Structure 1
Amino acid sequence: MFKNTIIILLLLFGSCLVDAQVLPEAILQSTDTVKSKEINPLSPAKAAFFSAVLPGLGQAYNKKYWKIPLVYGAMGTSMYYYTWNNKKYHDFRDAYKSRLAGFNNDQYQFLDDSRLIEAQRFYQRNRDMSLLLTVAFYILNIVDANIDAHLLQFNVNDNLTLNPKMEQNDINFRTTFGLALNITFK
């Protein structure tokens, strides 16, 4: 019974793999029926790849040039704080190590050993957080390029609108706010 179930699952799974490998060319290149514009489904993957290779390149591929300084500003700032915290961490660590070796003529001679250890932990934590933020901004850069490339293919025209509405209530004459979704089919 158990062997038969495994064999059936393998046959079903194997047939799914064979079907998944055959992609007709019509699926890869399609056109939008409303805008009659060619849609490239590989464009988001290409933008994400470009952004992964060189941060900001995916934004340039999507023609969103104003985002490139934001990408480099965020990553550059976090890298600056990484290097600064790393330098301060090593300064306090070297001062503590020299104090353990018997020297007491460093620039932090006014601090005791517990303060040096506390400063090391503080700058090490900030250094690690800065590195984590750099990686997060790098991933956000890739995700932004991918999503932006998806949204460039999104259909936005006069047949689909979302408008804010402000109307006066006929019963108590109070103003009500809301949203109206209008869909026009032709």
Structure 2
Amino acid sequence: MASSRFSAALLLLVPALLAANRPLYAQTVTAGPDSSAVAANPVADSLRRTEKLFGWRVTRPKKAALLALVLPGAGQIYNRQYWKLPLVYGGLGATGYGLYHYQSRYKEYIKGRDLYLAANGRTPINQLPGAGDQVKKETSVDNIQRGIVFYRRNRDTFIAYNALLYGVTILDALVAAHLRDFDISDDLSLRLEPALLPTATTAPTAGLALSLHLK
């Protein structure tokens, strides 16, 4: 149950970051209920290559993503979002410890099974020389085999957790670098205004409209 909740929490981060990464060059051209937005001419990607990485001229988002790929947390440092470092290293540390724990137990049970089979079952499990303490607590070779399956499954799960969290840190650095160019004014106003609402009949109905004005 705990591992499934951890997996669900990690999966929720991905769509949230993807939703935040949207084009920043749309502009409103009309006002009122029939207002529409069109995309202005975006700046060419070649003009945005203002950063250097290993001698290459790259864009700021690409540099942040590459740094995060090389070293977890480096992209967040480049974006100057130092408050995210405990989240990055805490998450990777937790999944890394889980991976180490289950991998160690898996190898211990594999070794215990091999020792038991090499002895042809003549030596009790709790007296097998070289067997781990956890294996010696088992009462049958079937229990050892079940332990192998259990620890291997959980090891593979934590491999997926590590890969997912590593990918999220790269995506976060990329999105954050994109959003650094998001320029809005300090004047944000949320207004409740009267409006005519379209209906199925020919006559519109009076109502209220909630609008956000960016100036």
Fold shared, TM-score > 0.5 on shorter chain: yes
> What do the CA deviations read for 1:83-122 (whole angstroms, capped 9, x no partner)?
1111111111111111112233134254212111111111
2:101 match: secondary structure: helix
Preserved contact between residue 62 and residue 145 of structure 1 (Cα < 8 Å): yes
Work out whether 1:181 is the aligned partner of 2:209.
no
The structure 2 residue matched to 1:141, chosen from 162, 169, 172, is: 169
Aligned 1:153-172 pairs, distance under 5 A: 153-158=181-186, 161=188, 163=190
Q: How many residues align?
A: 140
User: Quick one: structure 1 residues 164 and 64, their matched pair in 2 at CA, closer, same or farther if it must change by over 3 Å?
Assistant: farther
When normalised by structure 1's length, the TM-score is 0.65
The one-letter code sitting in structure 2 at the alignment partner of 1:146 is: L
Tell me if 1:71 matches 2:88: yes
- The CA distance in 1 between the partners of 2:101 and 2:191, in whole Å, is 48
Say yes or no: does 1:56 pair with 2:73. yes
- Consecutive unaligned residues of structure 1, counting only runs of 5 or more, are 1-25, 31-40, 166-177
**Is the 1:47–1:62 Cα contact (8 Å) retained in structure 2?**
yes
In 2, Cα distance between equivalents of 1:99 and 1:140? 43
| 1:112 counterpart = 2:143 | no
| Structure 2: gaps of 5 or more residues | 1-42, 49-57, 193-208
Contact 1:92 1:116 in 2 (8 A): yes
- Percent of counterpart pairs with the same letter? 31
Q: Is it true that 1:150 corresponds to 2:150 in the alignment?
A: no
Residue aligned with 1:181, SS:
strand
In 1, Cα distance between equivalents of 2:213 and 2:117? 74
- Divergent runs of 4+, >3 A: 161-165
| Distance change in 2, residues 1:43/1:126 (3 Å) | same
Q: Tell me, yes or no, if the aligned pair for 1:48 and 1:142 is still in contact at 8 Å.
A: yes
Q: 2:47 aligns with which of 18, 29, 40?
A: 29
* Distance in 2 (alpha carbons) for counterparts of 1:164 and 1:101: 79
> Which residue is equivalent to 1:125?
153
Shift of 1:162: 6.6
Larger fraction in helix: 1
Structure-2 residue corresponding to 1:87 = 104
Secondary structure of the equivalent of 1:29?
helix
